Amino acid sequence: MKDRDVTDFNKWITKGCPKATYFSSFEDKYLVVDNLDEKEDPLISPCEASYNSEYFYMLIVLRGTLHIVIGGTEIEVKANEYLSVRPCMTIKLQESRCFYVSLIARNCLMTDILEHSTLCKMNKFHAFSFSHLRFDPEQINALLHCYRTIKNEHMRDHYPMMEMVHRAYITAFLAKLCSFIQPTTYIPHTNNSKQYSVFTKFLDILSNDHKQERSVQYYAKTLKITPKYLSTIVHNFTGLSASQVIDNYVIYAVKQMLYANDCNIKTISEDFHFPSQSFFGRYFKRITGMSPNKYVKENNRKSLNFMSKNRM
C-alpha cells in the first residue's frame, strides 16, 4: 500500500463535512479542519478512509456526538471528548451531528512532542491503535483558545518567518493537549470476541518482533493459528492483509528512525535484519514509493528545520 499525501486526507475529511474550514502549513506537515462556522447541528455525512504509516488523526468534539468506527470498533465521541487515531487504521465516519476541531499531523511532529512527554510509556502501540479521552470544560476551552490563535494566524497576510511561527503555534497546541492526557482521562473500549483477542496478541508480538520477523507464517505459528486465519482476522479489524499490516508497521518504525536521523541507512538495514542495504531500499520503495535516501532528504529533522533553511 503506497503512502498517500495529506491532500488525500483533505478530500476525505471535507467529504464528510463539505462546509468545513481547513488549512495546512509548512509543506503540508499538518492539516487542521473545523466546522465551527456552521449553523446549529452541522451534518457529517458517512465516508471511509484507510490510514497509512505517515499521519496521526486527532479530533475534539465541542458539541453533539460523532459516530465513528475505527478498526471494527464503534465509538461515540461526545462533547468535551478527544479521539486520537494512530497510523494504519481504517476509519468510517457515520452520519453525525456535531461541532469539532480536528488535526491531521505528520509522524515527525508527533515524534517531537512524544519525546518530551510520558505518552510513549502510556501507549503500548504507536500504530494500529486509538485513544478516546474525556477532558473537562476548562481544558477544552484552553485548547479552543490555542486553536483560534492558530486559525487567526493563518488568516494574516504572509510575512517573514511565518512558517516558523505556524510550526511553533501548532507544536504548542499539541503540547498543551498532551499535558491534559492522564490515565484517568481514558475512556475504555472493550471487545471480548475471540478474534479481537487474537488481533491484539498479534499486535503485541509484532511490536516486539517486527525488526527480526516480517513473515505472516512466523506470527501465525507464534499464535498457533493458520496464516489464512490470521489474515482473515487482521483484515476484519484493519481492512488490510496481515502482510500489509506487518509491512506498514515496519515502515512506520523505519520512518521514525530516518526522521530522527539517529543512524544511517546501512545501520537501519542491519538493525531490521534485511539481507542487504539494496534489498532494504527496494522494500522501502515498494511500500512508500520513494527510496530511503529521498525520504531522509525530505523528511528528517534537518530538512524540517526552518531556522536553518531560511524559509521566508
Whether 117 is covered by a domain: the verdict is yes
Which amino acid would we find at residue 41? D
One-character DSSP codes across 1-19: -----HHHHHHHHHHHSTT
Q: Same structural domain for residues 75 and 204? A: no
pLDDT tens for 149-199 read 988 888 888 888 887 888 788 888 888 988 898 889 999 987 788 998 899
Cα distances (Å, whole numbers) of residue 113 to 47, 109, 168, 282: 30, 7, 12, 31
Q: What is the pLDDT of residue 217?
A: 98
The whole-angstrom separation of Cα 290 and Cα 296 is 10
> 6 pLDDT exceeds 60?
no
Q: Residue 190: left (phi > 0), alpha (psi -120 to 50), or beta?
A: beta
Q: Is 118 helix (H, G, I), strand (E, B) or coil?
A: coil
Neighbour tally for 112: CB within 10 Å: 17
Q: What is the pLDDT of residue 301?
A: 66
pTM: 0.80
Whether 311 is covered by a domain: the verdict is no
Whether 304 is covered by a domain: the verdict is no
Nearest to residue 98, comparing CAs of 115, 81, 117?
A: 81
Per the prediction, the chain carries an average pLDDT of 82
The whole-angstrom separation of Cα 134 and Cα 187 is 7
Q: Is 79 helix (H, G, I), strand (E, B) or coil?
A: coil
> 224 pLDDT exceeds 90?
yes
Q: What is the pLDDT of residue 171?
A: 81
Q: What is the mean pLDDT of residues 35-45?
A: 85
> 273 pLDDT exceeds 90?
yes
Q: What is the mean pLDDT of residues 65-77?
A: 89
Pair type for strands 96-106 and 30-34: antiparallel
Q: Same structural domain for residues 160 and 201? A: no
**Lowest-confidence segment of 4-18, 136-150, 217-231, 247-261 by average pLDDT:** 4-18
- Using 50, 70 and 90 to split pLDDT, how confident is the model at 14? low
- Using 50, 70 and 90 to split pLDDT, how confident is the model at 201? very high
- Using 50, 70 and 90 to split pLDDT, how confident is the model at 2? very low
- Using 50, 70 and 90 to split pLDDT, how confident is the model at 81? very high
Question: How far out from the chain centre does Cα 131 lie?
Answer: 11
Q: Same structural domain for residues 28 and 112? A: yes
Whether 307 is covered by a domain: the verdict is no
Contact 260, 301 (CB under 8 A): yes
Q: Same structural domain for residues 49 and 172? A: yes
Q: Same structural domain for residues 174 and 221? A: no
Q: Same structural domain for residues 155 and 61? A: yes
- Using 50, 70 and 90 to split pLDDT, how confident is the model at 27? low
Can you tell me which residue has the cell 463539505? Answer: 18
pLDDT over 90 for what percent of the chain? 37
> CB neighbours of 254 closer than 8 A, spacing ≥ 6?
268, 272, 284, 292
Show the DSSP H helices in the chain as ranges: 6-16, 107-114, 119-122, 137-155, 162-180, 194-209, 216-223, 227-238, 242-260, 265-271, 277-288, 292-299, 306-309
- Using 50, 70 and 90 to split pLDDT, how confident is the model at 45? confident
Can you tell me which residue has the cell 459516530? Answer: 67
pLDDT over 70 for what percent of the chain? 79
Q: What is the pLDDT of residue 99?
A: 94
**Domain extent at residue 288:** 194-299
Q: What is the pLDDT of residue 7?
A: 46
CATH number, residue 199: 1.10.10.60
> 123 pLDDT exceeds 50?
no
Nearest to residue 58, comparing CAs of 170, 136, 154, 169?
A: 170
CATH number, residue 62: 2.60.120.280
Contact 246, 206 (CB under 8 A): yes
Q: Number of structural domains, the chain?
A: 2
> 219 pLDDT exceeds 90?
yes
Can you tell me which residue has the cell 490515565? Answer: 183
- Using 50, 70 and 90 to split pLDDT, how confident is the model at 18? low
Q: What is the pLDDT of residue 138?
A: 96
